[in-house]
């Protein structure tokens, strides 16, 4: 990178990938992709300093449409892959993108432990309350009694509540956005990336093809911004109360944000400069001797 390139003002266009998104027309994931680019431009993050990590699903294709380093990992394993990157190079902005099935289903165990460790990660979950890639089965966030390909008589399982789950598991930044409110979503994603610690951004991202219940009109009638109500983002109890609010009124915005030491702050091995920038501390001869013990 030249000095001129390093000092140039970055715009949304700089984060557009070489591959055009292939989501269904009207999919909420288009808005998430654009808001992530706008947030990166707002924070002026160089493309070399951000890594997007995903699992499997419609939304997990996002890294291919974004101009930065990226890893398209395997189903439910985006969080541990991102954790490895984060610990190896703490100077990077590591952003995980995926869906409710990938994150709250098969990846739930990793999700919980990353929050309790307070790793410096940003997790954007495109929550469409359905399995879109596999053509319309109920997901972990599908509502009770929802009829789908896998539940023709109605869903009999209680849905996951990612907001309250994040609170009890130790995430230090918990928020919700909506693809139909792009300005608020961009602002939320930018604040999540800037926050030091585990940041959750649960995004209502309507699946226009398979979810005929949680549509744009359905959300438009119910969502509202908590900031207008004077919500205290530092109150755990207040955040918990808002987190359980779901029905005729559904809150958007930052539920909870506090500053606490991260996993990286507490681990003695991670003090000082990033691991990838540290010297191994041995001569070539010592390296050969060490390898020789295992060959």
Structure confidence at residue 163 (pLDDT): 98
Indicate the SS3 state at residue 72. strand
Give φ, ψ of 55 to 5 degrees: -105, -120
pLDDT (tens digit per residue) in 42-79: 999 999 999 999 999 999 999 999 999 999 999 999 99
Structure confidence at residue 139 (pLDDT): 96
pLDDT (tens digit per residue) in 97-136: 999 999 999 999 999 999 999 999 999 999 999 999 999 9
pLDDT at residue 219 greater than cutoff 70 = yes
How large is the C-alpha radius of gyration of the chain?
20
Domains annotated for the chain, with CATH where assigned, are: 3-292 (3.40.50.970)
What does the pLDDT average to over 77-90? 97
Structure confidence at residue 4 (pLDDT): 55
pLDDT (tens digit per residue) in 251-294: 999 999 999 999 999 999 899 999 998 887 788 898 899 899 99
Half-sphere exposure of residue 256, counting CA atoms within 13 Å on the CB side? 28
Beta partners for residue 253, in sequence order: 176
What does the pLDDT average to over 79-108? 96
> Which residues, other chains included, contact 7 with Cβ-Cβ below 8 Å and sequence gap of 6+?
none
Model confidence, pTM = 0.92
pLDDT (tens digit per residue) in 26-43: 999 999 999 999 999 999
């Amino acid at each position: 990178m030249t000095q001129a390139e390093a000092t140039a003002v970055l715009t949304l266009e700089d984060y557009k990938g070489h591959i055009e998104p292939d989501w269904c027309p009207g999919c909420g994931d288009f808005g998430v992709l654009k808001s992530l680019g706008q947030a990166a431009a707002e924070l002026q993050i160089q493309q070399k300093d951000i890594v997007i990590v995903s699992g499997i699903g419609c939304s997990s294709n996002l890294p291919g449409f974004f101009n930065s380093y990226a890893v398209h990992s395997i189903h439910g394993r985006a969080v541990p892959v991102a954790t490895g990157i984060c610990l190896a190079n703490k100077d990077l902005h590591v952003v995980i993108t995926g869906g409710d099935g990938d994150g709250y289903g098969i990846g739930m165990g990793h999700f919980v432990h990353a929050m309790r460790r307070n790793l410096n990660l940003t997790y954007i979950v495109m929550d469409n309350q359905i399995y879109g890639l596999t053509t319309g089965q109920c997901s972990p966030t599908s509502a009770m009694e929802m009829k789908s390909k896998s539940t023709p008589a109605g869903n009999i399982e209680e849905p996951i509540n990612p907001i309250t789950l994040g609170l009890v598991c130790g995430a230090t930044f918990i928020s919700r956005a909506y693809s139909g409110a792009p300005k608020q979503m961009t602002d939320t994603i930018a604040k999540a990336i800037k926050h030091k610690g585990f940041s959750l951004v649960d995004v209502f991202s309507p699946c226009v093809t398979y979810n005929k219940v949680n549509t744009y009109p359905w959300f438009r009638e119910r969502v509202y911004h908590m900031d207008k109500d004077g919500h205290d983002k530092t109150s755990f109890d207040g955040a918990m109360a808002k987190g359980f609010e779901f029905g005729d009124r559904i809150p958007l915005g930052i539920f909870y944000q506090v500053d606490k030491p991260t996993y990286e702050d507490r681990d003695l091995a991670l003090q000082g400069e990033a691991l990838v920038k540290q010297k191994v501390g041995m001569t070539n001869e010592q390296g050969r001797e060490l390898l020789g013990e295992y060959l």
